[in-house]
Structure 1
Amino acid sequence: MIRRLLLALVLVLAASPAQAYWEFGHESVAAIAYKNVTPATRAKIDALLRRQAMLETPSCPARTIEQASVWPDCVKPLGERFSYAYSWHYQNVDVCKPFDLKAACKDGNCVSAQITRDVKLLKDPKVPVRERLQALVFLIHFVGDLHMPLHAGDRGDLGGNRVKATYGVYGPERFNLHSIWDGPLTERAISTPPTILRRYSPEERAQIAAGTVEDWSRESWQISRDDAYATAFGGEACGPTPEGRVTLDQATIAKLVPVARLQVERGGLRLAKLLDEALR
């Protein structure tokens, strides 16, 4: 009986969808950043997070950088308290037109503008501790969001949320294109050896973290077009939306894993760069 129960448990776990990007992906970006900031920056991160009670969100703790990385999603169900931040998690830059960040970021209500704002708040010692703490947890999360391609580019379909999709052997009712990149694809990318949750060399950090927030926005937008949409739509990102469900088979998934993996690495090392700049 015990052996049968254990076998049933294994089968259930094997068939279960992976954790969503908002959990495993964000936590991994944060963990990479934490391993790659300077010791002085790490101490300042810890000091701010020790004040997490000032956020007054007991159901959404932020005691560690991993908890902080999912805090901005955790507080979404808290009603009007944080409803102002809903549009800060993404920027719907049209992948079928020339890259235009300004049009997608009116009045600063987009992820890249908020990253820049949070860095400025953290740099200013005159800003009250509670506001600097909130800027920290938002920054940790938003850098992860920017590097999820379908938060950075779309086709007027809510970043692929309206594109029904099948992921490998998982049941067709489970996913859309956005949730595939949010969840199982990113989980597989992070879990594929060798580990990306490590300390990187100075040369690696300099190469991967180079550029500006706008550069990173353009890069994620291009991946959304050339990898997320083009792969799902038979090679043409801006062609007609396929009828029914699009399918990502195992061969396609294998090609996309390195792309998703690199985005998590980029997010982590670029977050480390911003934290070092903001907290030095």
Structure 2
Amino acid sequence: MKRLLFPVLAGMLSSVIATPVMAWGVQGHGLIAEVAQTRLSPQAQRQVNELLALEGHQQLVEIASWADQLRERDPDLGRRSARWHYINLAEPQLPAEQNCRYQPERHCHQRDCVVAAIEDQGKRLADTSLPAAQRLQALKFVVHFVGDIHQPMHAGYGHDKGGNNLQVQYAGRGSNLHALWDSGMLRSRQWNNTDYLQHLLELAAPTLNPDQPQQWAENSCRIAIAEGVYPQRRQIDAAYVQQHLPHIEHQLRLAGEHLGALLNQLLANPASH
């Protein structure tokens, strides 16, 4: 039964196992890609299909976690792109009303952050003068980074590495706050991807800010610093999941909508230089 939710969450938590942090995890990035796939215009879909076919792929979900696998597949590119997955916007010394305000020179020096990565890789994707293989790589980055930028911990505090250094306990196991927001709370549903995608698409339609990575990061940052996100107790209980899982699911849906809209824009009138 798909809709057995919070009444059994406490029991479900016992099955959640902490895994290495990979920004939403495979499931989260896959769901974002699947939402985006449903939003592609015919023109964007045609170009996406042509690029994916270069490596025998058919769906965006197949490349959604590629950027997280670079550490093993291409260590050099993995190192060069490591900072493109996040941005440290939150500053603990600032009050909430003054926090989470993007300043390029302060927060994205030498364009080495997720905001600039989406912009730069988007331009490469739209540039039809580039070899198709380079445009496919750009597509892989865009699909992944639009997901990353909507994960609140990827736009939060730098002093604790986006919650990676904050150890928590749940279901009798050790983890950290970042991993909990990446995938731990998602897995507490125990749904397959088909049911989860249906659930996300049934959520109220979010307000979109297409082609605005700066605003996406600022919004994620505000969620990260909101009261209650950093738990008072290290023991994570069902009440914490019940409070914050809806925020995660909203961000997944929003990321998918933004990704679809961005791809439609980039591939509507591809640039040629």
Q: TM-score range by the shorter chain?
A: 0.7 to 0.9
1:242 is matched with which residue? none
2:100 is matched with which residue? 99
Contact 1:91 1:110 in 2 (8 A): yes
24, 47, 64: which is aligned to 2:50? 47
% identical equivalent positions = 27
1:203-240 CA-to-partner distances (Å, cap 9, x unmatched) read x37x334572111111000001005xx43343xxxxxx
> Compared with structure 1, are the counterparts of its residues 213 and 52 closer, same or farther at alpha carbon in structure 2 (3 Å cutoff)?
same
Secondary structure of the 1:154 match is coil
Is 1:153 matched with 2:156? Answer: yes
1:216-266 CA-to-partner distances (Å, cap 9, x unmatched) read 111000001005xx43343xxxxxxxxxx6122111210111101100001
Tell me which stretches of 4 or more aligned residues in structure 1 moved more than 6 Å: 11-14
Secondary structure of the 2:65 match is helix
1:90-149 CA-to-partner distances (Å, cap 9, x unmatched) read 111224233343212111111111001121112221122121111100000000100110
For CA contacts below 8 A with separation 6 or more, give which structure has more relative contact order.
2
248, 256, 261: which is aligned to 1:268? 256
Secondary structure of the 2:173 match is coil
Contact 2:152 2:221 in 1 (8 A): yes
TM superposition score normalised by structure 1: 0.78
> Compared with structure 1, are the counterparts of its residues 64 and 190 closer, same or farther at alpha carbon in structure 2 (3 Å cutoff)?
farther
What is the RMSD of the two structures over their aligned residues, measured on CA atoms? 2.9
Is 1:89 matched with 2:77? Answer: no
Contact 1:209 1:269 in 2 (8 A): no
Secondary structure of the 2:130 match is coil
2:229 is matched with which residue? 231
Contact 1:232 1:246 in 2 (8 A): no
Contact 1:152 1:220 in 2 (8 A): yes
Partner AA of 1:258 in structure 2:
P
1:220 is matched with which residue? 220
Q: 1:1-280, aligned counterparts within 5 Å?
A: 15-17=15-17, 21-52=24-55, 64-77=59-72, 78-96=74-92, 97=94, 98-101=99-102, 102=104, 103-167=106-170, 170-173=171-174, 175-188=175-188, 191=191, 195-198=198-201, 204=205, 207-210=207-210, 212-226=212-226, 230-234=228-232, 246-280=234-268
State the alpha-carbon separation in 2 of the partners of residues 65 and 190 from structure 1: 23
Of residues 87-96 and 264-273 in structure 1, the stretch that sits farther from structure 2 once superposed is 87-96
Of residues 246-255 and 215-224 in structure 1, the stretch that sits farther from structure 2 once superposed is 246-255
State the alpha-carbon separation in 2 of the partners of residues 24 and 216 from structure 1: 21
Contact 1:189 1:260 in 2 (8 A): no
1:24-80 CA-to-partner distances (Å, cap 9, x unmatched) read 000000000001111221221111011137xxxxxxxx6531121100111212322
Which one has the largest radius of gyration? 1
State the alpha-carbon separation in 2 of the partners of residues 199 and 176 from structure 1: 30
State the alpha-carbon separation in 1 of the partners of residues 166 and 143 from structure 2: 28
> Compared with structure 1, are the counterparts of its residues 277 and 189 closer, same or farther at alpha carbon in structure 2 (3 Å cutoff)?
farther
Structure 1: stretches of 5+ with no match in the other structure: 1-10, 54-61, 235-244
Secondary structure of the 2:162 match is coil
TM superposition score normalised by structure 2: 0.80
Paired residues in the alignment total: 244
